[in-house]
Structure 1
């Protein structure tokens, strides 16, 4: 996958929470694919997000499943970060989503617990709070 000159792949987990906040957390991985990462390290990023939110006295209850982005190159990771910082629902966000897809970024829902699996299977995510409808993440 990556030559020794390139950085390792980066996995980013984006989660929206019921209090209207969002959090993205990234980590380097030697996994070759998103599936390999999810199989080998299930829940590690989610645990990191839970710990950070607990330290900040924020809710740890998600609105629904989070989203994992697997970027195999530094360029692809930069595109993921630019996408996450674009205004929600904007044409810029749409263009940046196309850019990350063209860069080969793998995208998949991330499930943290049984109730979130049910939300994903049934497609019954909670309505966004007014704060969550605010534009952009950065």
Structure 2
């Protein structure tokens, strides 16, 4: 069964990914039928954990049509951003048939998408170490 995953980066420096099974035959079909469903679930979880709900920019939707493709998405999500392994896993995802699209919610996220500039991290998210 196909799986859709929403990955979002937030201004406090955290990331969150939520997945759900779907019977949609493509990412486009999923987006037309289930607008905002994963995003609402992510908002509820972050609210319950007292985390910010402001994203740095648009999130990313991954549509994995097979179990092998979903395994590739999971492996990609475990990699370090900018690493060689991330590039290898991204290639594996694409060759396994994973569809990828930006997930845009608010008007400000559309602006970020078009300008290609993410919002800055909060000072707490940029802090490293103690004193």
> Does the alignment reach a TM-score above 0.5?
yes
Q: CA deviation at 1:131?
A: 4.6
Task: Indicate how the Cα distance of structure 1 residues 128 and 94 shifts in structure 2: closer, same or farther if over 3 A, else same.
Answer: farther
Spell out, residue by residue over 1:31-79, the C-alpha distance to the aligned partner (whole angstroms, 9 max, x if none). Answer: 0000000011111000000000000000000000000000000110011
Q: Is the 8 A contact 2:11 2:125 kept in 1?
A: no
**Residue number in structure 1 paired with 2:33:** 40
Q: Which residue pairs with 1:5 in the alignment?
A: none
* TM-score, scaled to structure 2: 0.90
The answer for unaligned runs of 5 or more in structure 2 is: 127-131
| Structure 1: runs of 5 or more not aligned | 1-7, 133-138
TM normalised by structure 1 equals 0.86
User: Residues 124 and 94 from structure 1, CA distance in 2 versus in 1: closer, same or farther, beyond 3 angstroms?
Assistant: same
Deviation at 1:98, TM superposition (A): 0.3
Higher helix share: 2
2:52 is aligned with 1:59? yes
Query: Does structure 1 retain, via aligned residues, the 8 Å contact 2:72–2:93?
Result: yes
Counterpart CA distance in 2 for 1:50 and 1:99 is: 30
- For residue 79 of structure 1, the aligned residue among 54, 60, 72 is 72
Query: How far off is 1:128 after superposition?
Result: 4.6
Alpha-carbon separation, structure 1, partners of 2:121 and 2:99: 25
2:118 is aligned with 1:125:
yes
Q: Distance in 2 between matches of 1:34 and 1:69?
A: 8
Q: What value does the CA root-mean-square deviation take over the aligned residues? A: 1.7
Q: Secondary structure at the match of 1:13?
A: strand
**In the alignment, what sits opposite 1:31?**
24
**SS of corresponding position for 2:46:** helix
